[in-house]
Structure 1
Amino acid sequence: MIEAAVTLADETRSRVTLTDTSATLLRHLWQSYGPLMFHQSGGCCDGSSPMCYPAGDFITSDQDVLLGRFEIGTADAAQPIDFWMSREQFAYWSHTHLTVDVVPGRGSGFSVEAPEGVRFLIRSRLMETVDPFA
């Protein structure tokens, strides 16, 4: 598992993780597409899956939140991948930790893994909290 670097102010714990399988796929995709990014919109159907784009192909704004930055480096170089979420979706998922995984099947034609016969999938769990009375 690869934990994303913390990018939100006043937070100390990562909100997003990559499984080893997703990191391996991302290294492969990087060779074909160059720098990559994720965006999680929270829409219906394929929009509820994390979408992987060549970095900069999806324009983010103040309506998006940078949840984390992965370093999936290879022997040649570090490969940073930002994980963005729409601000509206973050309002619903602010209490969750996300794990980006890969499963067989076709996802959206807009996400770069689609031709590989797999799709990225989010697995979520509640964020761990620190008990101030412990």
Structure 2
Amino acid sequence: MDNHQACQRIRVKEVKNEADDDKRELVFKEIGQEHGQVLRMLGNGRCEVMCIDGTNRLCHIRGKMHKKVWIAAGDIILVSLRDYQDEKADVILMFMPDEARLLKAYGELPETIRVNDGLPFEDDDQGADDYIEFAEEDIDKI
């Protein structure tokens, strides 16, 4: 087999794998697992996660996902809890935005959580503090 045939075979595999990611079955949490939202990425395959049970955990991204699934702040993930360390967990799955919305519709995620917006929890009072109002004389001085 020459180099050209090998390249074509690899391309077919890549396209096939991309199609599999689009249609995957919705995964629900089991015993020893918890849903969470990424607060911030720490580097070296780690992230800080606010779990639905109210606990902040330091999570390790498993090797199968590392450099293949890109996780960012605000993403909804499924973590595997550790029996011996409550403050640490392992990321086992990242939900796509449409999957996270379905989980919210099924009641698996609380209504107060934002789905893939980058901010972990809704707070209606903060929106009023985003703008600064100036009086007319203040604008003239600027």
TM-score by shorter chain over 0.5: no
Larger RCO (alpha carbons 8 Å, 6+ apart): 1
More helix by share: 2
